[in-house]
C-alpha cells in the first residue's frame, strides 16, 4: 500500500492531523495498534479548554513543595521508586516554571489556545459530532473562602486575554448547579470553553470523517517504522505501508519511535485516572465541575458522571494504583452527590508532557520526510485540531498561521 503521508497514532492529535493533511490534498494512511480514540484520547475530562491560557506549571512556593513532599495530596501523587528516574525531568520542569519560563510558554501556547474551539467546530459539524459538544463552559468550585478570593484575583489578572467568565456566589452557583453540598461557597463559571460528553467517541467520529473523505485507516505497529530508499514504511495487518512522509503523533508512545532514531527529546508521562459514577435520583450534573484544591474534575459523560484525577508520577507500565482516585472520590462526595461506581476498575491514561510546557510540532531535522506532533500534556483534546492544522500547513508549504519555532524539536539541543 502506497501513500503520500503515513500518520502514526489515531488519538485526537493523529486523527486531526490526518484530516488536516487530507483537506490540503495529501493522500494519507492513518495507522494505530488499536481502533481510533481508544488510548489517552478516550479518558480525559472532555474540555476544549479555551480558558487555559496559562500552562500548567510546577509549583514554586516552598509551602506547596513541602506539602507535596508528604505525598498525601489528592491532586498530585508520586511513586517513591519512580522519583530517581523522574528527578532530572522534574528539575527541568521546575526551572521552566519560573516567571520567565512560564511567560515564554504562555506566549507560545496562546495562538493555539485561541483557535482551539474554532478548529474543532470546523471538524465536528461535518463529522456529525455536534451532539457530543456543549457550549456551556465549565465551573471552578470552592469550599474555602481564601481560595475563592485568590481565584477571583487570578481571573481578573487574565482580563487582557479577553476571556469570558462569571463569578458566582453560593446561591447563584446552586441555581446553576443544583445538588451541590452546603460546603461549596461559590465558583467561577468559565464561558468560552466547550465540553465533550464522549471524548473517545468524538475522536472516532473524526476518524470516520477521515475515512468517508477517502482516507485509509489500518491496524499496525508504529515501532516497525523504517526508512528505506528515501521512503517510510510500516508493517500493518494489511501488509507493508509505504509513504513519502511519516508523522509521529503517538502521544505517550512517541518515545519508542524518536529515541531509536537518535532524538533526545525529554518526553515524560503524567499518569491519570478516571471512574464513572451513577447519578443519584434527582441529580443532574449540568457542566464539568473542577475542584482546584482537590485536583479532580467531575464531568457529565454518556457513561455516567466521570471523575478524572490530577497527576500521578509513576512508571508508565506500573499497574493501576487506586490511592489517588480514592482520595479524590472521598473529597468529591463532599462536593456533589455521587452514586455507585459503574466501572469494574479505574481507567488509566498517560499524558505526554515536555518540561517547557509546549508540544513538539514540526520536522525531524535529521530525517527528511519525518514529522513530529506530540507532547500536548493535559490538552490533547483541546489542541488536536489546531496543532494538526499547524503541522499540515508546514508540511504542505502553506504559510503557517503562527510561528512554529517555539514547538521545534531542536529547542532541546
Domains and CATH numbers, the chain: 2-43+200-265+356-412 (3.50.50.60)
Cα→Cα distances 364→22, 33, 173, 257, Å: 21, 23, 49, 11
Relative to beta strand 289-291, strand 138-142 is parallel
Looking at residue 387, its pLDDT comes to 98
DSSP 319-361: PP--HHHHHHHHHHTTTS-EEEE-SSS-EEEEEEE-TTS--EE
Chain segment 182-212, per-residue pLDDT in tens: 999 999 999 999 999 999 999 999 999 999 9
CB neighbourhood size of 331 (10 A): 18
Question: Distance between CA 31 and CA 216 in Å, rounded?
Answer: 9
163 burial type by CB count under 10 A (0-12 exposed, 13-18 middle, 19+ buried): middle
Nearest to 292 by CA among 157, 180, 199, 187: 187
Cβ distance 308 to 291 under 8 Å? Answer: no
136-148, pLDDT tens digit by residue? 999 999 999 999 9
pLDDT tens-digit map of 290-328: 999 999 999 999 999 999 999 999 999 999 999 999 999
Q: How many CB atoms lie within 10 A of CB 219?
A: 13
Measured CA to CA, the distance from residue 56 to residue 179 in angstroms comes to: 30
Mean pLDDT in runs of 10 for the chain (413 residues)? 96 98 98 94 95 94 89 93 95 96 98 98 98 97 96 96 97 94 96 98 98 98 96 97 98 96 97 96 93 96 96 96 96 95 97 98 97 97 98 98 98 90
Q: Grid coordinates standing for 64?
A: 506547596
Is-contact 327 364, C-beta < 8 A?
Answer: no
Please say whether the beta carbons of 329 and 306 come within 8 A. no
Q: Is 304 left (phi over 0), alpha (psi -120 to 50) or beta?
A: left
d(CA 78, CA 369): 38
Return the pLDDT at 89: 97
C-alpha cell, 307:
471523575
Question: Which CA distances in Å does 153 have to 51, 67, 97, 146?
Answer: 15, 23, 20, 11
Joined grid coordinates for residue 33: 495498534
What is the distance, to the nearest Å, from the Cα of residue 184 to the centroid of all Cα atoms in its chain?
A: 28
Q: Are 25 and 211 in contact (CB under 8 A)?
A: no
Residues 399, 115: Cα–Cα separation, whole Å? 16
pLDDT value for 274: 97
Q: Note the pLDDT of residue 413.
A: 81
Do 325 and 347 touch, CB atoms closer than 8 A? no
What is the pLDDT, as a whole number, of residue 62?
A: 87
CA-to-CA distance for 363 and 224, rounded, in angstroms?
Answer: 20
* Residue-level pLDDT at 373: 98
Q: Are 287 and 139 in contact (CB under 8 A)?
A: yes
In this prediction, residue 309 carries a pLDDT of: 97
For all residues of the chain together, what is the average pLDDT? 96
CA distance 202 to 10: 12
Query: Any idea what the Cα angle at residue 393 is, between residues 23 and 232, rounded to 5°?
Result: 80
Distances in Å between the alpha carbon of 360 and those of 300, 333, 411?
Answer: 31, 38, 9
Amino acid at each position: 500500500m502506497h501513500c503520500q503521508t503515513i500518520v502514526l497514532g489515531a488519538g485526537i492529535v493523529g486523527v486531526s492531523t490526518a484530516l488536516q493533511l487530507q483537506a490540503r490534498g495529501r493522500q494519507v494512511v492513518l495507522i494505530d495498534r488499536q481502533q481510533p480514540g481508544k488510548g489517552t484520547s478516550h479518558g480525559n475530562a472532555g474540555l476544549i479548554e479555551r480558558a487555559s491560557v496559562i500552562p500548567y506549571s510546577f509549583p514554586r512556593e516552598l509551602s506547596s513543595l513541602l506539602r507535596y513532599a508528604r505525598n498525601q495530596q489528592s491532586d498530585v501523587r508520586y511513586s517513591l521508586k519512580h522519583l530517581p528516574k523522574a528527578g532530572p525531568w522534574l528539575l527541568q520542569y521546575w526551572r521552566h516554571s519560573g516567571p520567565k519560563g512560564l511567560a515564554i510558554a504562555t506566549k507560545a501556547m496562546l495562538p493555539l489556545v485561541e483557535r482551539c474551539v474554532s478548529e474543532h467546530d470546523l471538524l465536528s459539524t461535518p463529522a456529525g459530532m455536534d451532539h457530543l459538544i456543549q457550549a456551556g463552559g465549565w465551573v471552578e468550585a470552592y469550599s474555602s473562602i481564601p481560595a475563592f478570593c485568590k481565584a477571583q484575583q487570578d481571573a481578573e489578572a487574565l482580563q487582557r486575554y479577553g476571556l469570558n467568565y462569571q463569578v458566582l456566589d453560593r446561591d447563584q452557583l446552586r441555581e446553576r448547579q443544583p445538588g451541590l453540598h452546603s460546603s461549596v461557597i461559590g465558583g467561577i463559571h468559565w464561558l468560552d470553553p466547550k465540553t465533550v460528553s464522549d471524548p473517545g467517541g468524538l475522536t472516532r467520529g473524526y476518524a470516520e470523517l477521515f475515512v468517508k473523505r477517502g482516507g485509509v485507516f489500518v491496524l499496525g505497529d508504529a515501532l516497525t517504522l523504517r526508512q528505506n530508499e528515501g521512503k517510510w514504511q510500516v508493517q500493518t495487518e494489511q501488509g507493508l505501508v509505504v509513504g513519502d512522509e511519516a508523522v509521529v503523533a503517538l502521544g505517550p508512545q512517541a518515545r519508542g519511535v524518536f529515541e531509536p532514531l537518535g532524538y533526545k527529546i525529554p518526553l515524560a508521562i503524567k499518569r491519570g485516572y478516571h471512574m464513572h459514577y451513577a447519578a443519584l435520583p434527582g441529580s443532574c450534573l449540568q457542566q464539568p465541575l473542577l475542584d482546584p484544591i482537590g485536583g479532580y474534575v467531575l464531568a457529565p459523560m454518556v457513561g455516567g458522571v466521570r471523575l478524572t484525577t490530577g497527576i500521578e508520577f509513576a512508571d508508565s507500565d506500573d499497574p493501576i494504583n487506586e490511592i489517588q482516585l480514592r482520595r479524590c472520590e472521598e473529597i468529591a462526595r463532599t462536593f456533589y452527590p455521587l452514586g455507585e461506581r459503574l466501572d469494574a476498575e479505574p481507567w488509566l491514561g498517560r499524558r505526554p508532557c515536555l518540561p517547557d510546557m509546549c508540544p513538539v510540532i514540526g520536522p525531524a531535522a535529521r530525517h527528511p520526510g519525518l514529522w513530529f506532533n506530540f507532547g500536548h500534556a493535559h490538552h490533547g483534546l483541546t489542541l488536536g485540531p489546531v496543532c494538526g492544522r499547524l503541522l499540515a500547513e508546514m508540511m504542505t508549504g502553506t504559510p503557517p498561521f503562527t510561528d512554529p519555532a517555539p514547538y521545534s524539536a531542536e529547542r532541546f539541543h
